[in-house]
Amino acid sequence: MILAVDVGNTHIEIGLYVDGKFQTSWRIATKIHRTEDEFISHLHSFLTLKKLSLDKISTLAVASVVPNVTEMLDKLSRKYFGKEPFIVDITKKLGIKIDYEPASSVGADRICNAVATFEKYGGPAIIVDLGTATTFDVIDERGVYLGGAIAPGLETTAWGLSEKASKLPQIVLKFPKHAIGKNTEESMQSGLMLGAVRMIDGLIELISKELSGKPQIVATGGLANTIAPHSRHINQVEPYLVLDGLIALFFRNQ
């Protein structure tokens, strides 16, 4: 079994793959000061729930945007699995070309998204990742990563509103029945949810005009299933896109 770990700023998604095929996953909060011993105890608990054991894991593959956690996972792999982990960066064989300045600034999650999307759908394609930030990653028909756009994520925006405006509460991120809110919660849901969809569709349209050919639009991230049905352009939802790209890169580099 390969343990694939997608380390984001807010959550860590952990997936189990057998012979390159996804089996199961779970999510924990990202804590930058968690030690390798604490993390292995989490792994042990989740694997026990699935009636699996740590000794079934052959290697660790990591896509991380949090350096402290990357370092911790490197220590964990060497200490408990006796080997160096596979960690995604631009020095690896990617199967795509990076056209971005500097190339090293492209996050591992964005690389994995682009790799998985190009393998599954070809290009051109636009990947919308709805996480802490809402990112748009663009790959052309030749498999060249062109860059994209970065906007605040929905949860980040909602937190910022309630944090900076004392009379605005934390709300449930769901779509309201009407654009005209009849109370504070509905008004915030209208602005946040309906506004986010218009922003996403608007950026997709602008990016598409700069591409040759009609792009495939793929959504991923925690809110992808919530947003996608309301978008005019999203036509695929891939909840484990980063993990799938990570595993594809792992095998490409063996």
What local confidence, expressed as pLDDT, does residue 32 receive? 87
What local confidence, expressed as pLDDT, does residue 79 receive? 94
Among the options 6, 109, 137, 244, which is catalytic? 109
- With CA atoms as reference, report the closest residue to 113 among 217, 228, 185, 230: 217
Tokens of 111: 């690389």
pLDDT, averaged in runs of 10, over the chain (254 residues)? 92 91 90 92 90 87 95 95 94 95 94 97 96 94 96 91 84 93 94 96 97 95 94 96 96 94
What local confidence, expressed as pLDDT, does residue 55 receive? 84
- With CA atoms as reference, report the closest residue to 219 among 240, 189, 202: 240
Residue 190 identity (one-letter amino acid): S
User: Where do the domains of the chain lie, and which CATH numbers do they carry?
Assistant: 2-87 (3.30.420.40), 97-246 (3.30.420.40)
Q: Decide if 137 is catalytic.
A: no
Distances (CA, A) of 2 to 58, 77, 158, 176: 6, 12, 36, 41
What local confidence, expressed as pLDDT, does residue 223 receive? 92
What local confidence, expressed as pLDDT, does residue 40 receive? 94
Beta strands of 8-124 (E only): which ranges?
11-18, 21-29, 59-64, 86-87, 97-98
Helix 36-49 × helix 67-76 angle, to 10°: 70
